[in-house]
Structure 1
Amino acid sequence: MSLVLIAADLAAIAVLIALFLSRHHRRDLVVAYLGVNVGVLAVAAALSTMTASVGLGLGLFGVLSIIRLRSEELNQTEVAHYFAALALGLIGGIGVGMPALAMALMALVLVAVYVGDHPMVSRRTVRQDLLVDRAIVDRATLRAHVELLLGHEVTDVTVRRTDLVNDTTLVTVTSRADAATRATIAQTARVGS
């Protein structure tokens, strides 16, 4: 794997993240995308420098891909850290022929998780599930109702379930978070439980 390909991959993931953020406002997923991308890049580069069978490579990726299925429920940041830890272990454990390459790949994984999980990236949005005590099918009305309930502007409302029989709507809300907003959300969550 050449440095040109590594640079191209990093540029591509940066564009993907920029597109995703501009459309979905889920800054908490930045660390997951960076961790998974750079982790897979590092493991693939490590596997390409040694004489390993295709079956070994596919088996390793299969094990890595079931993290979410085999573990307790983790948030996206935790999944990224978990994946990065696995990638680091694999890079160190599979005996990459050039130690300098292995160390550089490990550093790349660590830098990616550091950058993706930095407070400047992830602190600006808050994501929470909310059970609204009304069945609201109109998106604009639902968004206005959720903003009224929370007391601040939301960037995205995703309907997970509308129950017309029990007159409830389950939504996932993403909002920009400053200190006052986080305090309001925490207070709302305590009152609602």
Structure 2
Amino acid sequence: MQDLLNRYSGIGTSFLIDLVALFLMYYVLYFRRHWRTDMLLSYVALNVGVFMTMSVLTQVRVELAVGFGLFAILSIIRIQAGRVTAQEMGYYFLALVLGLINGLGLPDRGLVVAMNVVLLLVVLAVDCKPLRDRSQHMEVTLEGVYTNEAALLAELERKLGGRVAYYEITEINLVDGQMVIDVRLQPGQGVIQPPVQTTTEVRESA
């Protein structure tokens, strides 16, 4: 009985470390910045699933290459459930890596905790508001079809209130007279065009 407890106490400790790291990732880093509660189930399921899988693989003494092969397969899965931003994909990847590291069952707990801390600190530094505010990525539907690049840039900057650093036309609708443009914008002091207000004319019948 004592041998059994000693054998599986390490998994319990690793799982506790993983849950603490997952809480810090989701609540402290992700939720307080992006305010999406619907992503919690996805992150928890991915992280705990990878942790449990790696724990089983290490207990049955499967080659480490098999675990990394699993990690590679999971990492290329395209997330299609709803609209997922690039930042959220980064958190998916972080949840996967945390589950992988904590599920390996490394005997050096200090090293495991240090790797968790480094991963979280890197995300804390990179996913910060000053860095995000330097550039914004958006998809713009523009009324009218522009064939002159300078006129198109001027119209985008006038409407969006910033400097267009890069753009790419993804769709042109000649029937409705619209263009869909992928824009990288550096926010500035430009004036955003207000929405057009329509008036309704009421006529009294004699």
TM above 0.5: yes
Instruction: For residues 21-75 of structure 1, give each alpha carbon's deviation from its aligned partner in whole angstroms, at most 9, with x where no partner exists.
Output: xxxxxxxxxxxxxxxxxxxxxxxxxxxxx97342321112211221x33543211
For structure 1, the 5+ residue unaligned runs are: 1-49
Query: What is the deviation of 1:122?
Result: 1.3
CA contact (8 A) 2:141 2:179 kept: yes
State the partner residue of 2:71.
60
CA 1:88–1:53 in structure 2 vs 1: closer, same or farther (change >3 Å)? closer
Matching residue within 100, 103, 110 for 1:93? 103
Tell me the amino acid that sits aligned with residue 155 of structure 1: A
| TM-score between both structures, scaled by the size of structure 1 | 0.60
State the partner residue of 1:127.
137
Tell me the amino acid that sits aligned with residue 121 of structure 2: V
State the partner residue of 1:156.
166
State the partner residue of 1:143.
153
Whole-angstrom CA distance in 1 between matches of 2:106 and 2:153: 52
State the partner residue of 1:23.
none
CA contact (8 A) 2:137 2:184 kept: yes
Aligned residues: 137
Tell me the amino acid that sits aligned with residue 89 of structure 2: V
Whole-angstrom CA distance in 2 between matches of 1:51 and 1:107: 27
For structure 2, the 5+ residue unaligned runs are: 1-60, 197-206
State the partner residue of 1:76.
86
Tell me the amino acid that sits aligned with residue 81 of structure 1: Y
Whose helix proportion is higher, 1 or 2?
Answer: 1
Tell me the amino acid that sits aligned with residue 137 of structure 1: T
Instruction: For residues 65-87 of structure 1, give each alpha carbon's deviation from its aligned partner in whole angstroms, at most 9, with x where no partner exists.
Output: 21x33543211111112221221
Say what the alpha-carbon RMSD is for the aligned residues. 2.7
Instruction: For residues 162-184 of structure 1, give each alpha carbon's deviation from its aligned partner in whole angstroms, at most 9, with x where no partner exists.
Output: 22333211012222225x66xx6
CA 1:82–1:139 in structure 2 vs 1: closer, same or farther (change >3 Å)? same
| TM-score between both structures, scaled by the size of structure 2 | 0.56
State the partner residue of 1:7.
none
Query: What is the deviation of 1:117?
Result: 0.5
Question: 4+ runs of 1 displaced by more than 4 Å?
Answer: none
